[in-house]
Amino acid sequence: MKLAVMQENLARGLSVVSRAVSTRSTLPVLANVLLRTENAGLKLTATNLEIGITSWVPGRIDGDGALTVPARLITDVVAGLPAGERVDLTVEGTTLRLKAGRYQTHLRGIDAEEFPVIPTAGDRPTTRVSQRLLRQALSEVAFAAASDEARPILTGVLTKLVGERLTLAAADNYRIAVKDLPILQPVEETILVVPARSYQELMRILNDTDDPVDIMLASSKSQVLFHVEGTELVSRLIDGQFPNYQQVLPTSHSCRAVVDRDELLKAVRLSALIASSAANVVRLRVGDPGSSAITIAAAADVGDAEGEVEAAIEGESVTIAFNARYLIEALQNVDGEQLALEFSGPLSPGVIKPVDDPDYVHVIMPVRTPS
């Protein structure tokens, strides 16, 4: 293999694929990145067997070939080269030589044949969706997936494609986040469960643009592929039946408050400083007689805290307790300046909805506390 690429293009490609490099595997080749000449350029691939990321770097090829080299090492070496320099890459046996100006280094690698096969995209996408809309939707949903592997299905995000809509849903034992968004071409009903970690990496690849990302099922139907110009992410799917979250979504409420998101988030964070010394519980009092504010309070052995946030309140008054962490994560990830909080009582789930987005809902289970 012999080719030349620009330093900034190679550095960018390596930074993208290095997110998929395995750091704990007993297979040494999974700590490497695969370099292969393809389509008049350099194809970079890394995988941890859950996700695989591929990035194409434009270049001038003088000889085809492939090799895997330590991902962290080559990323650091290339990042340290002068910007704007041409980098010449030459493979001889299992050694890669990089030369840029007066600097050159040799890296010992592992034969490309030992690298796992990563599925490639088919000729036609299953569907397409705006990168901007998908990135926003994932930021509002993926964080709510479980991190505990005790129930693997809950570490994934339900991804349901039907007609012209895509529904994303994530849940653990304490919260549920659901987002509905349009897709660019209709499809038959397809239901997948994608690991939340895969979606977190996809968010890093997606751009703030309406240009589409292609979504494709691998022929085996055990993996899903996301293709953005110049980059491709492949993720395994999680087997199993995702819980019927719709049964848990409240359909009515007895109290509703519309509040400024940033002000509420600030007040909850302040009370959480006290709550962290106890059970991490904060209490919300909504609709106190004569009050047009939500009171956020916490108490522990170290002290107590109380704050008020102006709100437009309708219905009965309610006092309800939540885990401060879950409430903070919901508030900081929901996209919207004004939020509607809906309650049906102190032991019923609380609902958070952006006032200007009817396609998103977040449900948090309350904490039972001594009266």
60-113 pLDDT, tens digit per residue, is 999 999 999 999 999 999 999 998 999 999 999 999 999 999 999 999 999 999
Supply the DSSP symbol for 110: B
Residue reference for tokens 């080749």: 29
For 127-246, give the CATH class: alpha beta
d(CA 136, CA 20): 22
The whole-angstrom separation of Cα 37 and Cα 43 is: 6
| CA separation, residue 364 to residues 35, 91, 159, 296, 328 (Å) | 46, 55, 21, 16, 11
Q: If one looks up domain 250-364 in CATH, what number appears?
A: 3.10.150.10
Q: Of 317, 179, 155, which Cα lies nearest the Cα of 236? A: 155
Per-residue model confidence as pLDDT tens digits over 300-317: 999 999 999 999 999 999
Residue 123 pLDDT greater than 60, yes or no: no
Average pLDDT on 339-351 reads 96
Full-prediction pTM beyond 0.75? yes
- pLDDT value at residue 122: 59
Please, is 44 exposed, middle or buried when counting C-beta atoms within 10 Å of its C-beta (0-12, 13-18, 19+)? buried
In this structure, the dihedral spanned by the alpha carbons of residues 179, 309, 327 and 176, taken in order and rounded to 10 degrees, is -30
CA distances from 244 to 9, 171, 236 (A): 45, 10, 22
Q: Is pLDDT at 57 greater than 60 in this prediction?
A: yes
Q: Quick check: 32 and 17 in contact, CB under 8 A? A: no
Q: Which H/E stretch holds residue 182?
A: strand 175-195
In the chain, list all ranges with CATH 3.10.150.10.
Answer: 2-114, 127-246, 250-364
Q: Residues in the chain, how many?
A: 371
Binned at pLDDT 50, 70 and 90, residue 218 comes out as confident
Would you call 339 exposed, middle or buried from its count of C-beta atoms within 10 A (0-12, 13-18, 19+)? buried
The secondary structure of 78-90, three-state, reads: HHCCCCCCEEEEE
The residues, any chain, with a CB within 8 Å of residue 56's CB and separated by 6 or more, are 13, 38, 39, 41, 42, 43, 44, 230, 231
pLDDT tens-place string over residues 131-147: 999 999 999 999 999 99
Mean pLDDT of 52-59: 95
CA-closest candidate to residue 360, choices 170, 163, 132, 162: 170
In this structure, the number of other CB atoms found within 10 A of the CB of residue 260 comes to 14
CA terminus-to-terminus distance, the chain? 72
From the number of C-beta atoms within 10 Å of its C-beta (0-12, 13-18, 19+), residue 199 rates as: buried
* Rounded average pLDDT over 233-259: 94
Q: Which CATH code is given to the segment(s) 2-114?
A: 3.10.150.10
